[in-house]
Amino acid sequence: AAKYTADAYTCAPNGLWTLKKTCTEAQVCLMKLASPEATKEDPLLKEVAVCEPFPCQEGVEYCPAGSATGNPHVCENGVLVKKSTCEPDTACVITPNGTAICMEWGKCTPGQESCSGTSALRCNENEATEVKETCTTEQACVLQAGIASCRDTCPPGEQQCSSGAVQTCGADRFWETTTECLVTQECVLFEGAASCRDLP
């Protein structure tokens, strides 16, 4: 088998390059195969870290993790566009209504949760913002129904079986259930494709 040499760069826990190059705010660091010809079965496979466009959904606002404080961005035509720049004593957070804003640390409503870069935040009883959870390089912070949490991301288009259902990775790099198997069926993954099949 061919031997593929890995690049010296790796993705740090905050989703940025650990060495010479740093991803921009509108990018995210991902580990990819060192060669298009490489396969996951190749025992000599090496991966490299690459900066790719931050995955976003049209019209949705984000606090991407490509800077120290983060800045409010909105997704336009599949690309993140900066709305404003946060001051050094502020940080970008996603409010419960989905708006990305610059907020001063320590000024918040107790119990309120938000996302900032690769961190899930919450406001404690002292009206101070604290980190609730730090996402890994394979995760992204998502705010749903007022709850901020880290969710696993995935390669768009990839499928898997989960709890008796077929799940497909969407353009936003999150798993979504596309087919619920019947009680007389089971989910089977074969050659990368998941489907519901009748039980024997």
Same structural domain, 139 and 67: yes
Cα 186 to Cα 188: distance, rounded to the nearest angstrom: 6
Question: Is there a single domain that holds both residue 140 and residue 80?
Answer: yes
Backbone angles phi, psi at 80, to 5 degrees: -75, 130
Whether 96 is in a domain gets the answer yes
Q: What is the mean pLDDT of each run of 10 residues along the chain (200 residues)?
A: 37 53 69 60 59 80 64 87 83 80 76 81 82 82 86 85 92 86 93 91
Whether residue 175 is found in the same domain as residue 147:
no
In a domain? residue 13? no
Residue 19 in domain: no
Same domain flag for 143 and 163: no
| Domain-ending residue, one of 136, 152, 168 | 152
Same domain, 81 and 148: yes
Domain-located, residue 141? yes
**Which residues form the domain of 107?**
61-152
Domain count within the chain: 2
Please check whether residues 114 and 141 belong to one and the same domain.
Answer: yes
Q: Are residues 107 and 122 in the same domain?
A: yes
DSSP 113-171: EEEETTEEEEE-TTS-EEEEEE--TTEEEEEETTEEEEEEB--TT-EEEETTEEEEE-T
Query: 116 with 145, same domain?
Result: yes
- Same domain for 189 and 133, yes or no, is no
Tell me: do 141 and 165 sit in the same domain.
Answer: no
Per-residue confidence (pLDDT) for residue 143, from 0 to 100: 83
Residue 188 contacts residue 161 (beta carbons within 8 Å)? yes
Task: Quote the pLDDT of residue 33.
Answer: 64
Q: What is the predicted pLDDT for the residue at 141? A: 84
Q: For residue 105, tell me if it sits in a domain.
A: yes
What pLDDT, on a 0 to 100 scale, did the predictor assign at position 195? 94
134 shares a domain with 65: yes
| Whether residue 77 is found in the same domain as residue 114 | yes
CB-based contact 119:135 (threshold 8 Å): yes
* pLDDT score recorded for residue 130: 82
